[in-house]
Structure formats: C-alpha cells, structure tokens
Amino acid sequence: MAKFNPNYIVTEMKKNIILAWGTPGEIRADYIPGKNRAMEHVIWLDGEVGPGNFYSESLWFFSPDKISPEEHERMAEMIKMIKPGTKIGPQPHIHPFDELFTFFGSNFDDPTDLGVEIEFWLEDQPMVFDKSCIVYIPAGMKHSPINMKQLDKPVFHFSMGYTPSYDYTIINESGKYAGEDMNTYFVFHDKASLKLPEYRNEIPKELTHRVAYLDSEVVPGANFYAETAWIWPEERSKLKQQDVTFTNPHTHSFPEVIGFFGTDYNDIHKLSGEVELWVDGQQFIIHKSFVAVIPEGVEHGPLTIRKVKKPIFHYTAGPGKMYQ
C-alpha cells in the first residue's frame, strides 16, 4: 500500500510549465497577484510534482473587469491575427487516458449559470452550453477546439486524467466515438439518487450548494467519480460559522484528489478560509487554495472547514466508477 507524502498537499503552482497549446516551447508566465490574465492557473499536478501524482490542472477564466489593460492589449493583437471563421483553442486531439473536463460559473445566486456560452467540439460536433458542468471524455474521444464568448463572471475550470503526464495526439480523422450522442457525456446536475456513506456527514444546504456529480451510473461506462460544490461564507449562509466536518476517517480503493479553491480574485491562491485535513494520522491546517492527492488505501479524515470569508469551490475526484 502506498504511503502518504506531505508533498501530496499542493498549494504552489508548478514552475516552468510548457504550454501544450501555446507557441512551441512557450513557458507559462508566473502568476502575479492582482494582475490576473484571461486564463490563470492555480494548481498543476503531474508526476514531476510528486511521485504517484496524476495529471490535473485547475485554473480561472477571467471576465473583462478582472483582466489587466496589458492583457486586453495582448488579446486584441491576437484577435487581429485570427481569420474570420477560424476555430480558436487547442487543435482536435485524443488522449490515451480518460479525462474530466469541467466548467463552473461564479454566479453565486445561481451556480448552475456558467456566465458564458461555450462551444466545445467533441467528435467533430459543436456542443454549445451555458451551464456549469462536468464533461467526461473517454480515452480515444476526439475533442477541441473550444470557443468562448465574452464572460460575464469568472469561470473555474479543472481537468484531470489518471496519467503522470499530459500526453495527446493531434488527429484530423474521426475518433473512435464518432456518431455517438455527445450529450450523454455532459453532467449538469447533482445526482438525485445519491446516498452518502456513513463516514460522510450531512452538511446544511445553507452552507453548501452541490453542482454536478459524476459516476458510472450517471454516465454509463465512466471510469471516474467526481463531486463538486460551493461552500458559502457566513454572510451568505446566514449560519454562524463553526467547525463543519465533511468526512470522518475512511479509505478508498482508488486514489483521490481533493480540492479547495478560494475566490479572492486579487489573489487566487488565497483560500479565505481554513481547512483541517487529517491524512494517515497527520494533521494539516491549510489556508491556501490547494489539492491533496490521497493514494489508494490511505486513511484520510476527518476533513473540517472553518472561518470561511468568501465562497470556496470544492471538488473531489478519482479514477473509480463509484464513490465507495
């Protein structure tokens, strides 16, 4: 059984990432608080960040009011070079691994509202949506490009694959899922029939808003579980802030990623809350946006959150067909 390494709790952005879809060899610029750009990563995971990690990236797409004048100017120059009708974003490609691809709006009065219309191409079909969602992309499914209209509010995105590195193959021909109904791979809602295991505590609905839930019952054949929710501060929940324990000690038969992300857009690494997480008998107190990678069979919990000052986005996910 794998042992837990404290380095599996990741709060810092990986340095010197070569962008897969940028200019060949282009290295991602460092984040500067208060100088947010159109797309800014919070966390990047892969096998280099820690042995046993798998690929995952978490980032924000920012609305115009959050983008610096310098970035506006850079984007305007890029747009001038794009011919009418050109599809923007990554070239169509496939992966040798299953991938989660997600989008979550920050309209806190209606978290289902994405705040932007997205055109996401799957198997040469333009899928258009404007609701927060999880997209399950099986290995070998052709996907991209992605086109966005102007955002009304920031959008949170994470993607994930059970692989130590982000590998892809650009293709022009159809993928292995051509002709299927791509709508079946989109999840826009929480699971209606969900029953929590005994080690999970019921959380007041005033404190959290569950968004979308994925497992092999929701998307038949899916090899990933994923659960997403917003956690509200006292100002919104109207509940007196106190320790709220989400889970008690437990283990899984698959590795799990647990993420918490703050919404201070002047500093996306600030959690604006406190998470107490116990893993393998070790206590961790965390005040920054983070992901924790829990190896298969390693006991984790309790997980407690407190002192929430701004909304926090929370997800858990792992390469398991069902959460158990």
Domains of the chain: 6-318 (2.60.120)
Res. 4: pLDDT tops 90? no
Residues 286-310, mean pLDDT to the nearest whole number:
94
Lowest mean pLDDT among 49-53, 117-121, 243-247, 299-303: 49-53
**210 or 6: whose pLDDT is higher?**
210
Res. 179: pLDDT tops 90? yes
Instruction: Give percent of the chain with pLDDT exceeding 70.
Output: 87
**pLDDT reported for residue 78:** 52
Q: Output the six-digit token pair for 111.
A: 């978290």
Res. 194: pLDDT tops 80? yes
d(CA 56, CA 40): 14
According to the per-residue pLDDT averaged within each range, which of 88-97, 166-175, 207-216 is highest? 207-216
pTM summary value: 0.91
For the chain, the average pLDDT equals: 88
**pLDDT reported for residue 165:** 86
Split at pLDDT 50, 70, 90, the class of 82 is: very low
Task: Identify whether the C-beta of residue 207 lies closer than 8 Å to the C-beta of residue 231.
Answer: yes
CA 200 to chain centroid, in Å, comes to: 22
Give CA angle at 36 (34, 42), nearest 5°: 100
Task: Identify whether the C-beta of residue 156 lies closer than 8 Å to the C-beta of residue 101.
Answer: no
Task: Identify whether the C-beta of residue 43 lies closer than 8 Å to the C-beta of residue 13.
Answer: yes
Q: Output the six-digit token pair for 28.
A: 């991602």
- E-assigned strands of 155-255? 155-161, 169-170, 186-187, 208-214, 225-231, 244-247
**217 or 7: whose pLDDT is higher?**
217
Residues 298-308, mean pLDDT to the nearest whole number:
95
Res. 248: pLDDT tops 70? yes
Residues 203-231, mean pLDDT to the nearest whole number:
95
Beta strands at 256-262 and 290-294: parallel, antiparallel or unpaired = antiparallel
According to the per-residue pLDDT averaged within each range, which of 2-6, 41-45, 228-232, 294-298 is highest? 228-232
